[in-house]
Every structure is written in structure tokens, then in C-alpha cells.
Amino acid sequence: MTTPQIQILLVLFASLILFAWGRWRYDLVAMFSLLACILLGLVPEAEAFHGFGHPAVVTVIAVLILSQGLQNAGVVNRIAELFKRAQPSPTLLLASLTLIVTLLSAFMNNVGALALMLPVTMMAAEEYKIPPARLLMPLAFGSILGGLATLIGTPPNIIISGYRADTLGNGYSMFDFAPVGVPVALLGVAFIVLLGWRLIPQQRMSGDASFKLFQIESYLTEVRATENCNCVGERLSDLPLIAHDAIELLGIADANGFMRTIAEDHRVRAGDIFILRADPTEISPLIDKYGFELVTTATHIYEEPDQHSLMMLEGVLTRDSPLIGRDTRFLRRLSGRSIALVGLARKDRPMVPRLRRQIFRIGDVLLLQGHQETIDEQFKQLGLLPLATRPLRLDRPPRVAIALLSFGAAVVLAMTHLLTLPVAFTIAIIVYVFAGIIRVREIYSQVDWSIIILLGAMIPVGHALETTGATIRITELLIALAGGDSPVLILVLIMVITMLLSSLVNNAATALVMAPIGVAAAESMNVSPDPFLMAIAIGASCAFLTPIGHQSNTLVMAPGGYQFGDYWRMGLPLELLILVLSIPLILLVWPL
């Protein structure tokens, strides 16, 4: 190997390790990788930021904005109304929810589709007394499967199409992915509905018939004994605070604001702050009957005269939330003290520090209290997906017809090659703005800029993999591992590697890394690169083994009560099924 080849492989290997580690944001890792390539001379300085103007990057931006527009147009309200009328059985409900999110994610961002359906699913779980664990993992997997069907369904498809345009002169059209993606998605949904959900550990399904939206066992909550508390002077051992099995007393706040353990013979004093782990519904009797009060991160909202406008709402922290890595003080500043943090749930490990000392993480479920008129905008500002229905947006009436017609027209213009996809979608965005479907400031606030930076930075890195000849060396290694030069074996091996990477690394980064390798493998064996690119597109979207491979998986982890190891139980057989089905379909539709 030459020195540049060794250097680019070391940079790439270090990047993949950091992506999988997750300690640093992947957009930051991507920028470090790009800067390393520039300093090593692997990427010319004049071409360092060409990736940010790449058509694939522009298309991803447009899809994210249009996804928000479709959400604003009232699609979720229409879907919720249909479910209220249908009264389906549990199996039909699961099938309907999974199919709808699969269909939506074929034409909008995966996470956007999940954001639309998550409140509907939680409502349905409460209505039909179904444990959310039975519905939420299938919902997340369905949102991923739908992206296989179209060019815009998921960033890997857009990246693969853009890479083909760069190397072979033209990319894929809107429905070139459908002949393989649609059967794979439908079979995946059938597997999930008929068998897959049964593979979720039964202890996650143990919700009783009195399931409520706020019934999450691991909420960290604080209550204060007031002057009027009728328990002042009594021993803790005589109170329901610790006698109730559903309430776990973790400790008491000391004078310095830290938590310390407490003896059961402690006598309650006015001002005592107790740290509890419990379902918020179990804490209600303490407040109503015994005179305790909730300790929140913002107190002045309770001093407003219009108390009846206050409401509690749960939300899951998304990857692009400004709260990630911050504490409750930052939450207070960001919300202007107009929203109160009442509780916090995190399923993968216990929490014992004070609520105000928690550092927020992706997937945390926050129980917040605020005014009905503003909590909707607060959730968007804080980067939260709601687990219950939000207040109606009275300032923006539903415009489903205009939104769908504009979007459909853009797709037709791109399919007929009258306009390129980025230009057609940009026109649709302008229509959305003038129709009042999306506000100008939402164009900037709803774009996941971390994904855009990742793509813009990694495109030149992927190009360096080719220019240094490193892709040829990797291809030779793959052929040696396959024990020969059989294109079918190499195709299977590349798809398996892509699937494994996608469960550990962001799927867009996986596609960027594997696309040059796939094309190099095809060229070395003098076969068509299309089967390899399609296998990489499908493999990059098959992030079903872990909660970290795809944001949809992360977002349902806490509200579904899942553990890290729950995902592979349904995800592994699903990936094997996809592998067995997709390889013959790829070879049939895209011959070698």
C-alpha cells in the first residue's frame, strides 16, 4: 500500500470508531475527518467544501423541509380521525400503524414520519389498553422500511443516487428503488405484524389494563413538604411515600442541593424535598391528599392567574435537540421559564442524582408542564417529539390538499426530467411558504443541520478513498475473504458489511463509505455497479440491531420501555429475511 492509501484508511477507520462510540457528535467527527484529509493532502484545499453544494445534500435539505410542511398541513390530524372511526382490533391496529408509517416514510424523512405517527400511536395504545412496547418498535422499524421504496425515502438512497451520477453520469429516478424496495418493505411489515412483535421480551408487554400515557416506571421526580402538609412531624415509615410499591424513595435534598440517603425514621419537616422514582400518576395522591407539591424547574408558571390553561405533556428528546448534553438550568433559560420540568425518565440505567443535576441525553422522556397556547411551540424549540396529542394549531388551518398536490407535482416534474429533483422540491417549498403551510423561520429550524454537515464533510473524504486507490485495495481484500471472484458472493458480503455498519454508524455515513467500495468491486469483476449500489442502499437502511443505528430506534426506546438488547431479537431475523429476499430481487431487476 502507498502512504496516501494507508493515511485515508486510518482516517476512515478512526472516523468509524468515533461514529460507533457516540461520545462526540457525528457532524463534529465528520469535520475532523475532513480537516485531517486536508492537512494530509488527501483532499485539495480548493475542493474541501464542494460537498456542501452537492445535489444530494441539497435534496436532503429539501426533503427535510417538505416533511415539516406535510406535518404542518394537518396530515396527523386526518390520520388520527381515521383511527377513531375504524375501531380496529389490536392486530389490525398494529398492521395499520406500521403500514401507514411505512407509506409515509417512502415520501418523507423517516424521523418525520415517525414524528407524525408517534402521538397517534400513544393515543391508540391508551384507547385500546395495549402496552406501548407492542407498537413502538414495529412503528420505528416500519419508518425505516418505508425509506427503501423511493429515492427520497431515506438519505442513503439520495447519496447512492448522487454517487452514481458522479461516477456514471446519471443518478437513479424517483421509483428506481421501488422494484426491490417495495417487496422488501411489505415483507418486512408482514413479518413485524405476524411474528416480529412476539419476539420483544414479554416483560416489556406487562403493562396492565389501566395503562396511561404517563405510565413510565423510571420517572425521576421531586416533591416538597409545604407548610400546610398534614404529614409534617410524622415518620417516613408511616407515610405512603415509601409504603406504596409503585413509589421508590431515593433520598432527600440536603442544604447544598445534593441528594443524600435518608432513614425511614426521619420526621418530615416543612421544606423537605424528597427525590422519588415513580409513575407521575402514583404521586398524585401525595399532592392531593397529603399536601406535598411538585418541585419543577420553573415556578412562576404556577403563579399565573389562568391555571386551567396548564397541561402536562411527555416528549422524547431527539438527536438535534439543543438540550442534549445540557442540564435543567439551560432548559429554564431556553424556555424563558415558561415551561416546567416535572419529571424525567430514562430506561437504560437508573438515575439517583437530583433532577436539576441531570444531563439530558437522546431518547430521554421529559414530563413537562406549560400553557396550552405555547407548549406546542416550546416542544419544537426544545427538539421534543410528543407522546400525546398536542394542542390544535388554531393559527394554521389544515391544508392537506395543497400540500399533497404541490409535493406530487414536484415529484412528477422530477420523474419526467423537466426539472432536477432539488429544483422541483425548491419550487414546492416556495409554494408551501406562500400558502402558509410552512413559515420562513421553519425552513431553517427544521433542517437537521448535523446531517447536512455530515454529508458535506464526508463526500470529499469518500472521494479521497477513490483518488488514493484505497477502494481497490479494500475490494481485493473482500474478494480474498469471499474465497474467489464470484460477483454474487461479493454482493452478499458487501450487503452484510453494510448492514452491520449501519447498526453502529449513522446510515448516511455508511452509504458514503460503502458506495466507492461497491463500485470498485463491480469494476474489478467487469460487472454492472447497479446491483452493488442497490445492495448498499438497502443495507445502509437496515439499522435494526441496536437503538443507536437509527434515530427512529433511539426515540422509541424510553417510551417503549426497551433495553439495548431488545432490538436485535426482532431486528436480526428481520435483517436475515431482507438479505434472503433482496439479493435475488436485486439480481433480477439489476442484472450483473
Q: What is the spatial distance between Cα 365 and Cα 558, in angstroms, rounded to a whole number?
A: 6
- Scanning 108-212, the segments in alpha helix (DSSP H) are 110-127, 132-146, 155-168, 178-194
Q: 219-294 has which fold? A: Alpha-Beta Plaits (3.30.70)
Average pLDDT per consecutive 10 residues, the chain (592 residues; last block may be shorter): 87 84 80 92 88 84 82 66 66 88 86 79 79 90 92 89 88 91 94 91 60 49 80 78 64 71 80 75 66 64 48 78 83 76 69 69 81 74 72 50 86 85 90 86 76 85 84 80 79 91 82 88 89 94 85 80 85 94 94 87
Which long-range CB contacts under 8 A does 123-127 form with residues at least 24 apart? 123/80, 123/83, 123/388, 123/389, 124/83, 124/93, 124/97, 125/211, 126/211, 126/212, 126/213
Helices 449-467 + 55-72 axis angle, to 10: 160
| CB proximity list for 204: less than 8 A, separation 6 or greater | 131, 133, 560, 561, 562, 566
Q: Are 383 and 320 in contact (CB under 8 A)?
A: yes
Per DSSP, the residues of 290-339 read: H-EEE--S--GGGGSS-GGGEEEEEEEEPTT-TTTT--HHHHHHHHTT-E
- Scanning 323-420, the segments in alpha helix (DSSP H) are 328-335, 375-382, 400-415
Tracing cell 431479537 back to the chain, one arrives at 569
Question: Domain ranges in the chain?
Answer: 219-294, 300-386
Residue 255 is predicted with a pLDDT of 64
**Nearest to residue 213, comparing CAs of 468, 388, 93, 396?**
388
Q: What is the spatial distance between Cα 318 and Cα 140, in angstroms, rounded to a whole number?
A: 14
Q: Are 557 and 547 in contact (CB under 8 A)?
A: yes
Reported CATH class of domain 300-386: alpha beta
Tracing cell 449501519 back to the chain, one arrives at 502
**Nearest to residue 240, comparing CAs of 272, 206, 271, 278?**
278
Q: What is the spatial distance between Cα 527 and Cα 519, in angstroms, rounded to a whole number?
A: 9
Q: Are 268 and 225 in contact (CB under 8 A)?
A: yes
**Nearest to residue 70, comparing CAs of 452, 412, 394, 446?**
446
Residue 530 is predicted with a pLDDT of 94
